[in-house]
């Protein structure tokens, strides 16, 4: 029986690469590894030739990705990504063309969220889309706290000043975390993990979620507006959907407390970046600073109006990139793909909208 074919658009880095490949091969899958984002492609070729096939394609170039997927009329049964390569309607239509020997049936994301996939097209074409929710919950929660520490204690400014040979004592005393109220927008796995850690550090915590309130340890604000107006720092932990796109815009930012901080480790499109940049440039605006790990335009098209603002702490979507989180995501994603291809969907998260 012919093995199901899987295209790895991006593999886990470092020693995790081998673990991910062994997991997929252990499931009896035929793996084609994209070398475009591999740190040592020559070494990987030497180590894995004969066990996996190789390609080298820019996944963010849709035309090139489609060409690779349909090359020779062979196709792939599954595609796995980690860094959110966009898989839109044109790609999905090409990858499920009946003329292909192997029609796309599964898309796996090693990480939380599936906004990189055009879900309506996937459902229409019979492609199951799975991801690994909770695999990075602890990592992202820790990172949000790191953002908060960095901004409340002006670590970046002090570091820059010291490296320039300037001994500049802080003229205005910093606040301690126990003096602050943290508002968490989105009380899923990451939001709850952050609430646990923040509470242990002495912060007052409140949350807001669109889902009906359930009994739990995080007090609920009556509305998003109420949370924004009564929090010293606001951390976003929502998926990007039609309902959450642009959720934080000019009017929402204007509601925030004087001297407040916004943290975004969720998705870039949730925040109006231009409105955020304008707020951070305005010394009279209540928002004092922001830490942003996710952007509207990332990767090859990475651009933001936040560039150059001293009160904007910017990082390249790395909140969930710890060894433990990435290993969990990679191996769990491999298991999900194999289960769906084998017709065993029980327990596998499949996103339809």
Catalytic residues: 267, 298, 317
Spatial CB neighbours of 285, under 8 Å, sequence gap ≥ 6? 253, 254, 279
Identify which of 182, 277, 178 has the alpha carbon closest to the alpha carbon of residue 236.
182
CB count in 10 Å sphere of residue 10? 18
CB count in 10 Å sphere of residue 171? 5
Which pairs with CB-CB distance under 8 Å and at least 24 residues apart come from 300-308? 300/58, 300/60, 301/60, 304/273, 304/277, 305/273, 305/274, 305/276, 305/277, 306/273, 306/276, 306/277, 306/280
Which pairs with CB-CB distance under 8 Å and at least 24 residues apart come from 146-154? 147/263, 147/265, 147/291, 147/293, 147/313, 148/177, 148/182, 148/233, 148/235, 148/261, 148/263, 148/291, 149/177, 150/291, 150/313, 151/261, 151/289, 151/291, 151/313, 152/177, 152/180, 152/233, 152/261
Question: DSSP secondary structure string, 36-76?
Answer: TT-S-HHHHHHHHBTTBEEE---TT-HHHHHHHHHGGG---
Distance separating alpha carbons of residues 254 and 88, to the nearest angstrom: 35
Distance separating alpha carbons of residues 292 and 341, to the nearest angstrom: 37
Spatial CB neighbours of 29, under 8 Å, sequence gap ≥ 6? 3, 4, 5, 6, 78, 337, 338, 341
Contact 92, 104 (CB under 8 A): yes
Beta bridge partners of 172: none
């Amino acid at each position: 029986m012919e093995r199901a074919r899987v295209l790895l658009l991006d593999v886990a880095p470092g020693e995790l690469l081998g673990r991910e490949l062994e997991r997929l091969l252990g499931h009896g899958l035929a793996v084609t590894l994209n070398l475009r984002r591999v740190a040592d492609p020559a070494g990987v070729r030497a180590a894995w030739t004969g066990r996996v096939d190789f390609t080298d394609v820019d996944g963010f170039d849709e035309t090139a990705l489609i060409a690779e997927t349909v090359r020779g009329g062979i196709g792939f049964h599954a595609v796995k990504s980690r860094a959110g390569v966009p898989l839109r309607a044109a790609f999905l239509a090409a990858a499920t063309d009946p003329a292909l020997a192997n029609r796309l049936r599964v898309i796996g994301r090693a990480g939380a969220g599936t906004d990189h996939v055009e879900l309506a097209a996937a459902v229409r074409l019979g492609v199951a889309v799975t991801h690994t929710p909770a695999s990075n919950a602890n990592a992202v929660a820790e990172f949000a706290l790191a953002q908060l520490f960095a901004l409340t204690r002006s670590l970046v400014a002090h570091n820059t000043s010291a490296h320039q040979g300037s001994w500049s004592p802080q003229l205005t005393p910093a606040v301690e975390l126990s003096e602050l109220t943290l508002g968490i927008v989105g009380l899923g796995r990451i939001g709850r993990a952050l609430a646990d850690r923040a509470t242990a550090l002495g912060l007052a915590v409140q949350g807001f979620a669109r889902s009906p309130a359930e009994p739990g340890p995080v007090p609920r604000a009556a509305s998003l507006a109420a949370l924004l107006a009564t929090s010293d720092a606001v951390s976003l932990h929502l998926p990007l959907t039609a309902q959450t796109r642009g959720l934080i815009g000019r009017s929402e930012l204007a509601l925030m407390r004087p001297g407040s901080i916004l943290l975004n480790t969720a998705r870039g499109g949730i925040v109006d970046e231009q409105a955020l940049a304008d707020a951070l440039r305005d010394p009279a605006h209540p928002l004092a600073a922001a830490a942003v790990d996710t952007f509207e335009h990332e990767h090859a098209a990475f651009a933001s109006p936040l560039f150059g603002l001293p009160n904007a702490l910017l990082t390249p979507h790395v909140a969930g990139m710890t060894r433990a989180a990435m290993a969990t995501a990679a191996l769990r994603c491999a298991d999900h793909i194999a289960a769906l291809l084998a017709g065993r969907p029980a327990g596998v998260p499949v996103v339809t909208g």
